[in-house]
Amino acid sequence: MEYIVSARKYRPLSFDTVVGQAALTTTLKNAVKSGKLAHAYLFCGPRGVGKTTCARIFAKAINCQHPTAEGEACNECESCQSFNEQRSLNIFELDAASNNSVEHIKTLMEQTRIPPQLGKYKVFIIDEVHMLSTAAFNAFLKTLEEPPAHVIFILATTEKHKILPTILSRCQIYDFERMTIRNTIDHLKHVADQEGILYEEQALAVIAEKADGGMRDALSIFDQAASFCQGNITYEKVIEDLNVLDSENYFQIIDHAITNKVSDIMVLLNGVINKGFDGGLLIQGLAKHVRNVLMARDPQTLPLLEVSDQMRQRYQEQAKRCQIPFLYEALKLMNQCDINYRQSSNKRLLVELTLIEIAQITQPAEDGASAGRKPRRLKSLFKNLIQQSQPNKTTAPQVAAAAAAVSTPKQAAPARDTRTATSATASPAGPKLKLGGIGFSWKKLGQQESDTKKSVTITIPANANIPTGQKAVTDRVFSQSDLELQWMSMCNRMPQHLSGIATRMKNMNPEIMDFPAIEVVVDNELIKQELEEIQKTITKTLQIYLQNDQVKLSIRVAEQTEQVKILSRREQFDLMVEKNAAVGKLQQAFDLELA
């Protein structure tokens, strides 16, 4: 006996056997019952959903001599018999993909002039009508608009947007829907029962998902799976035959992500890639899985799951263990990974990073940070590293002794405490000490004189010389290099809102005029006014760090003869070359250009 594939063997022969198009078939049956038939119909939709099949059933029904009360063909009259035996002269099928020229359309138009010899209508079914050329469409327009009373056109296409608007306006348009997974599974069960094939519903669900809404594709895949499984279609054999990623991987990844088991996810990912599956395919499948888990949390969205009953139960069980914020964040991360996947030069690393981020969504927060989801502040991170690198930490008594030595320079302190303070200040970290009554802080500039009594925070540099004797030094002799060092250190410690004046002060050169008097020369009156606003604070700071209470600061505007020309980058480079010829040779050797 000749073998017939399931897509042809189980092709619907009546409106009632058409799967998944109830609204369209009801409309067509009502048109047959009432006799209100249009002269042109357009059936459009994706492949394998029943467009051509419905066109044939409709053509047989409108020519049936004794239609049923429901609008179906009787399958007993001569017209129905001739159609079933494929010898009807009233129904013509034309493939527009191979007959798309003007000559083919003219030949078709000549056939429309001949009335039917049996039945009421001549029906012309034109499949893939979008393949007609523009000239053929134009030749078809007049006949399509005003055909003979005995002619009905049924056009079928998968690409409705390619058809001319003038053609669309002359047809009744029927949009066919994709098959739902539930309808596909039910129809595959019917075919399997008719063929005596054993099956697992989960295996049929995989076939339905692979078919992507096309019943013809589903039946073709069903035949392939039945041949591979030898009459017993199981889930394991189907995913092996179709090379489909097992959904169990998705359930395991989510379970591991909830418990923050990153290493287990990495091992699972490696196994999936070693089986030949693409990382992007895994992310797409996992995103669909997480979406299904999200839908399974709410009874209102549960019908949106187009899966088998067994899988629906598993989704509900996992949904109870997943929080909604976790699912939302996971979907966001996977969507971003899917967007960047094609442009990524290291696709596996992108997938691994995405899965790591998903696994850290539910990780408890540490130190107020979100533990892997957002980067820690670099400042706090470096602070921790500095603390870890210091083997000897300054104790509270040592800090107190240092504070006493600086804040009360005229008060005697025990020799042991002052030595301890000296060792503490030698640490590279430079502890912060709160000193009261020693002057202004940078944050309190412009305040009243009474504010100077408030305590301020001064960072003691590593090379500050805290005295170790019985009395703090208040008349220390300092050099020009000491002055320049403390001046630059002061500029570096100035707060953010004084960054502008601090930058200009770095370019100034304070000089010792009549020890311990210090003079600063500025370029213009405006800069002088800015410095005078903080002159007292600058003076007090220099007195503390230079350990000399007699320091006086004066500010004056440079004379015209003292002003130095500001050199451009090119002039600075030329000056460097003039002083050192090796710089010019280096430029020529490497063909360097001045940025």
- Reading the block at residue 167, the tokens are 């053609």
What pLDDT score does 4 carry? 84
| Maximum CA extent, the chain | 132
Distance of CA 450 to the CA centre of its chain: 56
User: Is the pLDDT reported for residue 372 higher than 80?
Assistant: no
Task: Looking at the structure, tell me whether residues 297 and 171 fall in a common domain.
Answer: no
Sheet holding 517-522, edge to edge: 511-512, 517-522, 552-557
pLDDT band at 562 (very low <50, low <70, confident <90, very high): low
Rounded Cα distance, 190 and 204, in Å: 11
- Nearest CA among 514, 555, 549, 513 for reference residue 533: 555
pLDDT band at 561 (very low <50, low <70, confident <90, very high): low
Query: Sign (positive/negative) of CA torsion 473, 479, 482, 487?
Result: positive
User: Is the pLDDT reported for residue 79 higher than 80?
Assistant: yes
What pLDDT score does 269 carry? 92
Q: State the CB neighbour count (10 A cutoff) for residue 255.
A: 15
Judge whether 391 lies within some domain. no
Task: Looking at the structure, tell me whether residues 431 and 500 fall in a common domain.
Answer: yes
pLDDT digits (tens, 9 = 90+) for 17-69: 888 888 888 999 888 888 888 889 999 988 888 889 999 999 889 888 888 88
Q: What does the DSSP assignment read for 492-522?
A: HHS-GGGHHHHHHHHT---EESSTTEEEEEE
pLDDT, the chain, mean: 79
Residue 525, φ and ψ in degrees, nearest 5: -70, -30
Q: State the CB neighbour count (10 A cutoff) for residue 110.
A: 9
CA distances from 58 to 29, 30, 46, 359 (A): 8, 11, 19, 56
* Mean pLDDT, range 159-176, rounded to an integer: 89
pLDDT band at 86 (very low <50, low <70, confident <90, very high): confident
Task: Looking at the structure, tell me whether residues 136 and 200 fall in a common domain.
Answer: no
- Which CATH number covers residue 161? 3.40.50.300
- Nearest CA among 120, 119, 11, 123 for reference residue 58: 123
What pLDDT score does 257 carry? 92
- Angle, vertex CA 499, rays to CA 498 and CA 500, nearest 5: 90
Task: Looking at the structure, tell me whether residues 236 and 261 fall in a common domain.
Answer: no
* Mean pLDDT, range 170-196, rounded to an integer: 89
What pLDDT score does 460 carry? 40
User: Is the pLDDT reported for residue 330 higher than 90?
Assistant: yes
Task: Looking at the structure, tell me whether residues 114 and 21 fall in a common domain.
Answer: yes
Task: Looking at the structure, tell me whether residues 344 and 407 fall in a common domain.
Answer: no
What pLDDT score does 352 carry? 92
Judge whether 379 lies within some domain. no
Task: Looking at the structure, tell me whether residues 13 and 138 fall in a common domain.
Answer: yes
- Which CATH number covers residue 192? 1.10.8.60
What pLDDT score does 466 carry? 43
One-letter identity of residue 35: G
Determine contact, residues 229/241, Cβ cutoff 8 Å: yes
Domain range for residue 511?
Answer: 396-557
**Whole-number CA gyration radius for the chain:** 44
What pLDDT score does 455 carry? 36
Judge whether 364 lies within some domain. no
What pLDDT score does 564 carry? 59
Q: State the CB neighbour count (10 A cutoff) for residue 241.
A: 18
- Angle, vertex CA 138, rays to CA 104 and CA 44, nearest 5: 80
Task: Looking at the structure, tell me whether residues 138 and 195 fall in a common domain.
Answer: no
Q: Is the pTM of this model over 0.85?
A: no
Task: Looking at the structure, tell me whether residues 419 and 530 fall in a common domain.
Answer: yes
End residue of a domain, out of 216, 242, 268? 242
Q: What does the DSSP assignment read for 380-448?
A: HHHHHHHHHH-SSPPPHHHHHHHHHHHH-TTS---HHHHHHHHHHHTSTT--EEEE-SS---GGGTTS-
Total number of domains in the chain: 5
For residue 516, cis peptide bond before it (omega within 30 degrees of 0) = yes
Provide the β-strand partners of residue 434. Answer: 457
Judge whether 381 lies within some domain. no
- Which CATH number covers residue 322? 1.20.272.10
* Mean pLDDT, range 344-353, rounded to an integer: 91
Judge whether 366 lies within some domain. no
- The residue with greater pLDDT, 455 or 548, is 548
Task: Looking at the structure, tell me whether residues 569 and 588 fall in a common domain.
Answer: yes
End residue of a domain, out of 153, 175, 197? 175
Task: Looking at the structure, tell me whether residues 405 and 529 fall in a common domain.
Answer: yes
Judge whether 368 lies within some domain. no
Q: State the CB neighbour count (10 A cutoff) for residue 69.
A: 6
Task: Looking at the structure, tell me whether residues 418 and 355 fall in a common domain.
Answer: no
- Nearest CA among 97, 150, 95, 81 for reference residue 120: 150
Write out the H or E segment, with its range, that includes residue 116.
none
Share of the chain above pLDDT 90, in %: 13
- The residue with greater pLDDT, 381 or 552, is 552
* Mean pLDDT, range 365-387, rounded to an integer: 46
What pLDDT score does 164 carry? 87
pLDDT digits (tens, 9 = 90+) for 458-512: 344 444 444 444 455 678 888 888 888 888 889 988 888 888 888 888 888 898 8
Judge whether 455 lies within some domain. yes
User: Is the pLDDT reported for residue 397 higher than 60?
Assistant: no
pLDDT digits (tens, 9 = 90+) for 236-289: 888 888 888 888 899 999 999 999 889 999 999 999 999 888 888 899 999 999
Share of the chain above pLDDT 70, in %: 80
Q: Which residues contact 505 (CB under 8 A, 6 or more apart)?
A: 487, 490, 491, 494, 531
pLDDT digits (tens, 9 = 90+) for 285-322: 999 999 999 999 888 888 888 787 788 888 999 999 99
pLDDT digits (tens, 9 = 90+) for 404-417: 443 444 444 443 44
- Reading the block at residue 455, the tokens are 């305590």
Judge whether 431 lies within some domain. yes
At residue 534, the 3 state secondary structure works out as: coil
Rounded Cα distance, 406 and 474, in Å: 10
- Reading the block at residue 466, the tokens are 């805290």
